Amino acid sequence: MANYFALGGVTLFMKVNSSIRAFCRKTLHAAGSSALAFTGILLLTSAAACSQNATEKPPSSQLNQEESTRLELLLTWDGKPFDLTEEAWQEQLSEQAFYVLRKQGTERAFTGSYNSNKASGTYACAGCGLLLFSSDTKFDSGTGWPSFYKPEGPNHVGETQDNRHGMQRTEVHCNRCGGHLGHVFPDGPRPTGLRYCINSVSLQFFPDPE
């Protein structure tokens, strides 16, 4: 795969994320539907779904061919890994992000920028930009790390057994680039009962438009 960052992925993601969500909200409002109707759905799917009752075209139709192709790379994972050399990751990421994402590190509790973030929006992988979590499933766990009860996207978040530090935990990572995100524990709130305990530095937040 071509270098994701060379494709201008994050910029495009922001553009599309904002426009599609704004479009969906507008359409659902017009239809008198609850915003809950489309929470947790992939953005592209949302656009397709909510456009069914719309009288105007969704914003994705405003993208040119090149942008559409790049968007597909971002949001719909084709199962292919996003591989960079260790040197390239080091160049791409901050020291802290490299330590957490590529070396399975952990940021100190209550130090991450998203722990107390209550804004509405989307959390993507800080390594490759893949959609990972939504603010709709974020909750205050009191642990000092951003916590979610459900990931977004089919198979975007992978799991491995982590027996380090004398504990048996389930590690979670971005399935596309393999970047370490955090751990998942079976003590979360309803409806899943799961707590995805995620390092802020592994995430990139894209706020919803005002």
CA pair distance 119, 70, nearest whole angstrom: 26
Contacts of 66 (CB under 8 A, 6+ apart): none
The answer to whether residue 131 forms part of the interface with Zn ion (CB under 5 A) is: no
125 in catalytic set: no
Min CB(187)–Zn ion separation in Å: 26
Give burial (CB, 10 Å; 0-12/13-18/19+) of 149: buried
| 81 versus 189: smaller Cβ distance to Zn ion | 81
Closest CB to Zn ion among residues 123, 145: 123
User: Closest separation between CB of residue 197 and Zn ion, Å?
Assistant: 17
Told to check if 126 binds Zn ion by CB under 5 A, we report no
Is residue 84 near Zn ion by the rule CB under 5 A? no
Binding track, positions 172-191, relative to Zn ion; x by CB under 5 A:
--x-xx-x------------
Question: Given candidates 127, 151, 153, 188, which one binds Zn ion under the rule CB under 5 A?
Answer: 127
Q: At its nearest, how many Å lie between Zn ion and the CB of residue 192? A: 22
**125 in contact with Zn ion (CB under 5 A):** yes
Q: Which residues fall within 8 angstroms of residue 207, CB to CB, at 6 or more apart?
A: 119, 120, 121
Bridging pattern class, strands 169-174 and 180-185: antiparallel
CA separation, residue 196 to residues 64, 151, 152, 183 (Å):
36, 8, 12, 6
Q: Minimum distance between the CB of residue 184 and Zn ion, rounded to whole angstroms?
A: 16
Q: Which is nearer to Zn ion, 176 or 195 (CB)?
A: 176
Q: Does residue 157 bind Zn ion (CB under 5 A)?
A: no
Query: Which tokens go with 81?
Result: 């890994």
The first and second tokens of residue 161, run together, are 């057994």
- Nearest approach in angstroms of CB 141 to Zn ion is 23
If the CB atoms of residues 10 and 54 are measured against Zn ion, the closer one turns out to be 10
Q: Write out the catalytic residue numbers.
A: 197
In the complex, the residues that contact Zn ion under the rule CB under 5 A are 125, 127-128, 130, 174, 176-177, 179
